[in-house]
Amino acid sequence: MINKRVDLTDVQITHLKSLVTGQVSTNETILDQHGRDESAIPPVRPSAVVMPQSTEEVSKVLAYCNAEKIPVVAFGAGSSLEGHVLPLFGGISLDLTGMNKVLEIRGDDLLVRVQPGVHRMALNERLASSGLFFSVDPGADATLGGMAATGAAGTTTVRYGSMRDNVLALTAVLADGTVIKTGRETRKLSAGYDLTRLLVGSEGTLGVITELTLRVFGIPEKMAAAIVRFNSLDDGVTAATAIVRSGISIARCEFLDAKCIKNVNAHDGLNLSEVPTLFFEFHGSPQGVAEDAASVKEIVEEFGGSEFEWTSDEGARRKLWQARHNAYWAGIAANPGKRAVSTDAAVPLSKLAEAVTVAEQILSKHPYPFSILGHVADANFHCFIVTDPAKPQELEDVRHITHEITMKMIGMGGTCTGEHGIGSGKIEALISETGAPAVQVMRSIKESLDPNNILNPGKVFK
């Protein structure tokens, strides 16, 4: 069992070099790049970075690390937000970005096969000429392997689902080097335990994903966007939940509070009214999107929504959604030198307005700048709280505040994380949410697949 930092010997590094055709690096800059994620959690360097080029090489590396009891932390784009990629016990960072081939595009089957290091934007650039797109869109340009490993979701989840819905099959390497294939290229499957969904969201603790078969969709004939303003946070969020209940087909529905809008205005050179705002997107036929937008307008007006604007102009739609996607970076840019802590609770739909109000009340009692935004159609929202990395006490304080918010959300029947995952940041919250017996089942699965605990130790459980 790994319980202290492991630094590799020269002999081990030389042996690893013989197992892969890609780089094995101990260069300090490269170690630093692999020792942090996008969270405010202080970095931890790996002892070496290993860059395999194939499933076979990953298998050889894991078999060797298992025999030598060297921790292995898979690394995609490093955009995760809960310390997921930090090698808490040293060992190697296994960088999968060299495995970045789109292996097959099968339009007739509406699926693609990719290696784990393909970035989601690169995949969509490749798919566009086939009239297809991959729908899951976390704000960062993450890798498909990392997105599967965190169970990522995004702005289009309300319509197209998250990684849990869109990964059909996987190739993965277990801790001892065994290669397994899970799932099939079918749209339905009822054969045995669902190992695909066990690996999706397992955060690199059960296996290393080396190939993914993903569902893709036809690019809609027409896409239109709309925005609408509200007097209060509560009105905006309540309107969003009413739209979801109405069954109107929305492709995206996102909420930004007044502070977020101020930040994106400054960051993206926009001039949006600085009030709570809902952003929508509609996909379908030209007539269908116009009808959906008109139905949404009617509902939001019942909740005091005003200045409803909609556009089917492609440039304007892209600009608006780019601003939404930049909200995180806009928040950082507004606070130079600072880092952010993001909550990620999701609650039952009927509790969303209360949940957002409770979170805002808690945050308002403290001195840290914050804003609130979210995938409100999925009743999942983020409190974005700014902290100074030069003052570690601040981070600890903010962590206490976010834990308090998270516990309130769990008390409302919600989850501590709708999409970011547990990492090292939400271990206690997982126990509170799921209960010790269920966490013990998870631990038994981990112990059975990775008895030496080499795969991303210190994540999901202590």
Ligand X SMILES: Cc1cc2nc3c(=O)[nH]c(=O)nc-3n(C[C@H](O)[C@H](O)[C@H](O)COP(=O)(O)OP(=O)(O)OC[C@H]3O[C@@H](n4cnc5c(N)ncnc54)[C@H](O)[C@@H]3O)c2cc1C
Q: How far apart are CA 252 and CA 137, in angstroms?
A: 11
- Please say which residue, 77 or 253, places its beta carbon nearer to ligand X: 77
- DSSP class of residue 413 equals T
Site membership for ligand X, residue 264 (CB under 6 A): no
C-alpha to C-alpha distance for 93 and 74, rounded to whole angstroms: 6
Q: Is residue 372 near ligand X by the rule CB under 6 A?
A: no
**Which one of residues 41, 44, 48, 153 is an interface residue with ligand X (CB under 6 A)?**
153
Among 420, 430, 446, 449, binds ligand X (CB under 6 A): 420
CB atoms within 10 A of CB 298: 12
Beta bridge partners, 287, equal: none
Query: Of 201, 456, 457, 458, which one interacts with ligand X (CB under 6 A)?
Result: 456
**Residue 263 binds to ligand X (criterion: CB under 6 A):** no
Residue where the block lists tokens 């459980």:
461
The Cα–Cα gap between 394 and 421 comes to 23
Structure-block tokens of residue 418:
């709708």
Report in angstroms how near the CB of residue 71 gets to ligand X at its nearest.
11
Give the Å distances, CA to CA, from 329 to 6, 45, 249, 322, 401. Answer: 34, 24, 29, 11, 22
How many Å apart are CA 322 and CA 225, to the nearest integer? 12
In this structure, the strands spanning 179-183 and 102-106 are unpaired
* Closer residue to ligand X, CB minimum distance, 93 or 238: 93
CB of 55 to ligand X, least distance (A): 11
Judged by CB under 6 A, the residue of 8, 31, 147, 224 near ligand X is 147
Instruction: Find out whether 236 and 304 touch, Cβ atoms under 8 Å.
Output: no
Q: Which of residues 331-370 bind ligand X (CB under 6 A)?
A: none
CB atoms within 10 A of CB 77: 22
CA nearest neighbour of 266 among 365, 170, 335, 187: 335
Is there binding between residue 328 and ligand X (CB under 6 A)?
yes
Cβ closer to ligand X: 62 or 355?
Answer: 62
Is residue 38 within the footprint of ligand X (CB under 6 A)?
A: yes
Q: How far is the CB of 59 from ligand X (least distance, A)?
A: 13
Q: How far is the CB of 139 from ligand X (least distance, A)?
A: 3
The residue range among 70-78, 122-130, 239-247, 351-359 that interacts with ligand X, by the rule CB under 6 A, is 70-78
Distance of closest approach, residue 73 Cβ to ligand X, in angstroms: 5
Is 74 a binding residue for ligand X by CB under 6 A? The answer is yes
Angle between helices 55-68 and 10-19 (to 10 degrees): 160
Query: CA 339, CA 74: separation in Å to the nearest integer?
Result: 24
- The one segment of 46-54, 135-143, 287-295, 361-369 that binds ligand X by CB under 6 A: 135-143
Using the rule CB under 6 A, is 145 a contact of ligand X? yes
CB 102 within 8 A of CB 112: yes
Query: Looking at 57, 203, 281, 450, which residue binds ligand X (CB under 6 A)?
Result: 203
377 conformational bin, left if phi > 0, alpha if psi -120 to 50, beta if neither = alpha
Q: Residue 208 pairs with which residues in a beta bridge?
A: 173
Region near ligand X per CB under 6 A, out of 81-89, 220-228, 255-263, 408-416: 81-89
Tell me if 457 contacts ligand X by CB under 6 A: no
Q: Which of 48, 51, 73, 237 binds ligand X (CB under 6 A)?
A: 73
- Which position among 80, 135, 238, 406 is part of the footprint of ligand X (CB under 6 A)? 80
The answer to whether 218 and 131 have CB atoms below 8 angstroms apart is yes
Which residues lie near ligand X (CB under 6 A)?
37-38, 73-81, 84-85, 96, 116, 138-140, 142-143, 145-147, 149-150, 152-154, 203-204, 208-209, 328, 419-420, 456
